[in-house]
């Protein structure tokens, strides 16, 4: 049974809670208008008696519920952060990374306070589904409960409890009752202290220590008779006892090791993966084994046995990896047990958060994650409209991706089962899969498999399949770490799919708004090119158009709307339509820009637009040009030399309603080429813009002007080569216009 919901007479509806609807109220949060201040002001100290009472309540709670870790968090409204003020079951060193939690963070403690309701997570798998970031940082088999601390509409903080992963799927009635009683007692203590003007405030973290330990001498005499090494660690991870065999196996004396952490005092244990074994034991309260090599060739097996006072460690000699041995006490050195491999998962999650589209996710998974977790095959499958789609596949035998791509979700297979159930599955060898699915060739060609369901937005959206070319026993830590990684992959894939969908919509909108065919105008040859950005949501801003005014005149326009999204694409269409309307009505260039500017002001879009408008008089070989913050046009004269035209530059459209624009009158001799372009053609990271425009002018002079279409292709191709592949650059729009030669 889950904890009882908060008393609705005392707690505001969760829908009213959020960072934008909170105000300070005597040290907690009160639902209402922002900007209030508490009665206590900014006093950094509270009543020690209140803190001691909170300690006693927390210690009694974890004792009564059987939780092995408990903590109390206080809300600091002015900082929008939760601070851990009391903790029991772990040391200050271990609790350190969890002492400050942002109120907006997608983690259990913050969610309980934000939404004003209890949060219960029954397993690490559920943690990976609902809170993938927390699961990745806490890759241990645990169950946890968080209840908010409330008094009326005031939110004070939260109480966190952690149990071993062997806990029942639900809280018992007794556990729920004890948790609620403690929640109300602590809330009452905080309210009374605030009312008395001595609110409890977070200062140094208070540690509720374990009960006193018994005298160890009789135990020391007992362990000296064992042929195995034995040592004890306190909750800080420091050595408090070793028998003689342990010092012999570890190769150091008592005085060298007592009071130290083994992974700090023994260089061959100085790797985060070994400290992680201690943390896994501490958090999960389960026996935790690992093996390590003491140079030059002494392999040792360690098994950690935890309780509320510390950890007992059994140390025995063992065979090198690859020999047959009992798997629980002396597991082989797998990818997860290799030094540092587990902690690479935390860094690899960064690669996924940087991935933009589905293609980026696939590349991050296959190129950055696959080598680190030491798998020989990896595939990412998504569930799409009732069928499997292979997003990425690498390392599996030929034909495997083709076999699974397009399969209905009702088909048979371990990956489909993982999608249907939402539960991860680990097969240390292929025997069971070969028996269950004899028709699937893959299960005979790889030796071991892991299936990680990808859970996001409340549903399973796919599955990550890992394949190994040798039998692969999965340790509990490795299963937890891989499940956590699957949770982060799911979030990245869902975000990437949404991005790609919006990107496709915006690209389609932009393509529909750009002219498909430019009008034919006697005496004027035209070529246009548009190249979308190669990376990111760089869409929607660039536009161009050519408008036939009469038989001997035309208008050319080019511009770039600020922003790269659907809104920019839509505004681009409105700007293009406005320019077309005013040009067709016979307005001069300066007036076309002024009227379009007023339209953007009226639309209140908060987006600015650069725009260049040119009226081409082909009869008199003149061009009248006005610009609103756009890059200058480049003119190639008939003799081949080029000129960057000096056109008076006005304000960007959409800034100032009364902005005025001036027109420049320039000659446009027969055989000249006028180039209008957007910044993507010339801008590149680390380059000077003026120098880049001069380089464009030089290139325009060097290239043959005929045929004009080939010239446009060349200019765009050169700009594309200058882009940094990792950054993609901006969209490129180019409009070339060549006047016909006389005769």
Give yes or no for a contact between 605 and 613, defined as CB atoms under 8 angstroms apart. Answer: no
Distance CA 667, CA 621 (A): 6
Tokens 């969908």 identify what position?
Answer: 501
Longest CA–CA separation in the chain, Å: 115
Q: How is residue 622 written in tokens?
A: 């003149």
SS3 407: coil
Distance CA 391, CA 428 (A): 25
* Residue 553 and residue 682 in one domain: yes
* Residue 276 and residue 348 in one domain: no
Distance CA 627, CA 651 (A): 8
Does 6 reside within a domain?
A: no
- Residue-range definition of the domain harbouring residue 582: 514-739
- Predicted confidence at residue 725, as pLDDT, reads 44
* Residue 182 and residue 203 in one domain: yes
- Predicted confidence at residue 506, as pLDDT, reads 66
Closest listed residue to residue 390, CA positions, set 465, 448, 334? 465
C-alpha distances in Å from residue 311, one per residue of 102, 211, 356, 697: 32, 14, 44, 74
Distance CA 88, CA 70 (A): 5
Does 7 reside within a domain?
A: no
Does 2 reside within a domain?
A: no
Q: How many CB atoms lie within 10 A of CB 498?
A: 13
* Residue 303 and residue 440 in one domain: no
Give yes or no for a contact between 284 and 164, defined as CB atoms under 8 angstroms apart. Answer: yes
- Residues in contact with 397: Cβ distance below 8 Å, sequence separation at least 6, in sequence order: 441, 442, 445, 446
* Residue 537 and residue 638 in one domain: yes
Rg, the chain, Cα only:
34
Q: Tell which phi-psi region holds residue 583, choosing left (phi > 0), alpha (psi between -120 and 50) or beta.
A: alpha
Domain end, chosen from 505, 522, 537, is at 505
CA angle 83, 86, 88 (to 5 degrees): 130
- In degrees and rounded to multiples of 5, residue 226 shows phi and psi of -80, 150
Q: What is the CATH number of the domain that holds 431?
A: 3.30.450.40
Does 553 reside within a domain?
A: yes
Q: What is the CATH number of the domain that holds 225?
A: 3.30.450.20
Find the Cα–Cα–Cα–Cα dihedral 498, 500, 501, 505, rounded to 10°. Answer: 140
Q: What is the CATH number of the domain that holds 681?
A: 3.60.40.10
* Stretches in the chain below the pLDDT threshold 50: 1-45, 214-216, 323-343, 534-538, 724-728
Q: Is the dihedral of CA 438, 441, 442, 443 positive or negative?
A: positive
Domain end, chosen from 283, 302, 317, is at 317
Distance CA 279, CA 272 (A): 10
- Residues 552-578 have pLDDT tens digits of 999 999 998 876 666 777 778 788 889
- Residues in contact with 251: Cβ distance below 8 Å, sequence separation at least 6, in sequence order: 294, 298
- Residues 464-479 have pLDDT tens digits of 999 998 998 888 778 8
As a whole number of Å, the end-to-end CA separation of the chain is: 93
* Residue 275 and residue 188 in one domain: no
Does 412 reside within a domain?
A: yes
C-alpha distances in Å from residue 351, one per residue of 95, 272, 355, 360: 27, 20, 6, 9
Distance CA 411, CA 419 (A): 11
Domain end, chosen from 456, 475, 505, is at 505
* Residue 200 and residue 239 in one domain: no
* Residue 295 and residue 355 in one domain: no
Distance CA 177, CA 304 (A): 33
Beta bridge partners of 459: 456
Does 609 reside within a domain?
A: yes
Q: Tell which phi-psi region holds residue 422, choosing left (phi > 0), alpha (psi between -120 and 50) or beta.
A: left
C-alpha distances in Å from residue 281, one per residue of 142, 284, 291, 303, 713: 11, 5, 15, 9, 63
SS3 315: strand
Give the count of domains, the chain: 4
- Predicted confidence at residue 308, as pLDDT, reads 81
Distance CA 465, CA 380 (A): 6
* Residue 391 and residue 474 in one domain: yes
- Predicted confidence at residue 12, as pLDDT, reads 32
SS3 56: helix
* Residue 594 and residue 709 in one domain: yes
Burial 288-304 (b: 16+ CB within 10 A, else e): bbbbbebeeeebbbbbb
Query: What is the CA 1 to chain-centroid distance, rounded?
Result: 33
Does 8 reside within a domain?
A: no
* Residue 100 and residue 154 in one domain: yes
Does 335 reside within a domain?
A: no
* Residue 289 and residue 359 in one domain: no
Find the Cα–Cα–Cα–Cα dihedral 501, 503, 506, 507, rounded to 10°. Answer: -110
């Amino acid at each position: 049974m889950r904890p009882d919901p908060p008393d609705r007479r005392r707690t505001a509806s969760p829908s009213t809670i959020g960072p934008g609807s909170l105000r300070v109220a005597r040290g907690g949060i009160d639902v209402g208008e922002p900007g209030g201040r508490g009665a206590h002001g900014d006093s950094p100290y509270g009543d020690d008696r209140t803190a001691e009472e909170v300690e006693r309540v927390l210690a009694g709670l974890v004792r009564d519920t059987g939780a092995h870790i408990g903590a109390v968090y206080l809300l600091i409204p002015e900082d929008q952060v939760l601070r851990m003020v009391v903790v029991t079951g772990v040391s200050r060193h271990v609790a350190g990374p969890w002492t400050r939690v942002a109120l907006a963070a997608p983690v259990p403690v913050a969610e309980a306070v934000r939404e004003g309701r209890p949060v219960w997570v029954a397993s690490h798998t559920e943690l990976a589904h609902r809170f993938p970031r927390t699961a990745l940082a806490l890759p241990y088999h645990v169950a946890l409960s968080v209840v908010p601390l409330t008094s009326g509409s005031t939110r004070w903080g939260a109480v966190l409890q952690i149990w071993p992963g062997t806990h029942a799927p639900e809280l018992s009635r007794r556990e729920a009752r004890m948790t609620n009683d403690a929640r109300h007692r602590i809330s009452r203590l905080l309210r009374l202290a605030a009312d008395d003007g001595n609110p409890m405030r977070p200062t140094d973290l208070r540690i509720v220590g374990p009960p006193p330990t018994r005298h160890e001498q009789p135990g020391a005499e007992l362990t000296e008779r064992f042929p195995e090494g034995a040592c004890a660690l306190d909750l800080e991870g420091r050595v408090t006892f070793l028998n003689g065999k342990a010092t012999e196996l570890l190769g150091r004396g008592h005085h060298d090791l007592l009071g130290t952490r083994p992974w700090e005092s023994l260089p061959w244990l100085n790797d985060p993966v070994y400290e992680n074994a201690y943390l896994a034991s501490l958090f999960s309260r389960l026996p935790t084994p690992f093996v390590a090599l003491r140079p030059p060739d002494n392999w040792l097996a360690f098994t950690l046995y935890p309780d509320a006072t510390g950890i007992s460690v059994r140390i025995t000699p063992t065979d090198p990896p690859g020999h047959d041995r009992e798997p629980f006490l002396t597991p082989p050195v797998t990818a997860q047990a290799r030094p540092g491999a587990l902690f690479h998962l935390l860094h690899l999650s960064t690669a996924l958060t940087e991935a933009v589209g589905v293609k980026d996710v696939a590349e991050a998974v296959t190129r950055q994650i696959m080598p680190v977790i030491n798998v020989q095959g990896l595939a990412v499958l998504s569930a799409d409209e009732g069928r499997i789609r292979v997003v990425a596949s690498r390392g599996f035998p030929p034909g495997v991706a083709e076999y699974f791509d397009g399969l209905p979700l009702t088909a048979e297979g371990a990956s489909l089962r993982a999608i249907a159930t939402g539960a991860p599955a680990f097969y240390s060898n292929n025997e069971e899969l070969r028996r269950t699915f004899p028709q699937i060739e893959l299960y005979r060609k790889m030796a071991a498999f892991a299936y990680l369901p990808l859970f996001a937005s409340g549903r399973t959206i796919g599955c990550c399949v890992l394949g190994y070319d040798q039998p692969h026993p999965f340790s509990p830590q490795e299963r937890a770490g891989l499940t956590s990684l699957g949770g982060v992959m799911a979030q990245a894939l869902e975000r990437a799919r949404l991005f790609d969908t919006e990107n496709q919509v915006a690209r389609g909108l932009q393509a529909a708004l750009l002219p498909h065919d430019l009008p034919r105008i006697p005496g004027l040859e035209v070529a246009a090119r548009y190249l979308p950005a190669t990376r990111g949501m760089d869409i929607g801003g660039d536009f161009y158009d050519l408008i036939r005014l009469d038989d001997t005149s035309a208008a050319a326009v080019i511009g770039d709307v600020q922003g790269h999204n659907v809104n920019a694409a839509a505004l681009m269409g409105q700007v293009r339509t406005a320019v077309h309307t005013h040009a067709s009505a016979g307005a001069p260039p300066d007036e076309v820009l002024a009227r379009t500017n007023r339209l953007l002001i009226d639309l209140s879009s908060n987006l600015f637009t650069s725009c260049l408008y040119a009226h081409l008089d082909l009869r008199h070989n003149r061009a009248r040009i006005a610009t609103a913050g756009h890059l200058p046009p480049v003119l190639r004269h008939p003799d081949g030399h080029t000129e960057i035209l000096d056109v008076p530059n006005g304000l960007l459209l959409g800034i100032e309603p009364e902005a005025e624009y001036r027109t420049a009158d320039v000659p446009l001799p027969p055989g000249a080429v006028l180039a209008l372009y957007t910044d993507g053609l010339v801008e590149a990271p680390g380059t000077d813009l003026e120098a880049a425009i001069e380089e464009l002018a030089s290139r325009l002079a060097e290239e043959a002007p005929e045929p004009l279409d080939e010239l446009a292709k060349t200019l765009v191709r050169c700009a594309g080569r200058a882009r940094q592949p990792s950054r993609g650059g901006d969209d490129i729009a180019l409009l070339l216009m060549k006047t016909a030669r006389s005769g």
